């Protein structure tokens, strides 16, 4: 395939030159492909919202629950719901 991001609104914009290859992504974002599994628990936030110039502390416990050694990345997403453009 082309290696370009898949756009569901324009599924044929980027096409594969191979008839046996699908045009969409092979794995969803964050799929991992690890040889072990992890358990995420005890997720805590110091506050539910963040004020201007404020600070929020987050913590999480990650346990390797599989049979092999491994590493993982914990991701946290934030959204500014009050921002505006002028």
Cα–Cα distance list, 31 to 37, 61, 81 (Å): 12, 20, 28
82 band by pLDDT with thresholds 50, 70 and 90: confident
The full set of domain ranges for the chain reads 36-80
| Mean pLDDT of the residues in the chain | 79
Dump pLDDT digits (tens) for 30-63. Answer: 676 788 999 999 999 999 888 888 899 999 999 9
Measured distance CA(81)–CA(65) in Å, rounded: 36
The per-residue pLDDT for 1 is: 47
CA-closest candidate to residue 74, choices 59, 57, 56: 59
Higher local confidence (pLDDT), 18 or 36: 36
Confidence of residue 14 (pLDDT cuts 50, 70, 90): low
CA dist 38 and 65 (Å) reads 5
Query: Can you list the positions of beta strands (E) in 28-81?
Result: 38-45, 58-64
């Amino acid at each position: 395939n082309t290696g370009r991001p898949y756009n569901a609104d324009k599924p044929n914009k980027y096409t594969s030159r191979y008839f046996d290859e699908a045009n969409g992504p092979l794995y969803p974002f964050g799929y991992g492909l690890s040889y072990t599994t992890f358990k995420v628990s005890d997720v805590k936030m110091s506050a539910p919202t963040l004020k201007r110039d404020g600070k929020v502390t987050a913590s999480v416990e990650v346990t390797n629950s599989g049979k092999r050694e491994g590493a993982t990345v914990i991701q946290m997403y934030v959204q500014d719901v009050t921002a505006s453009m002028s």
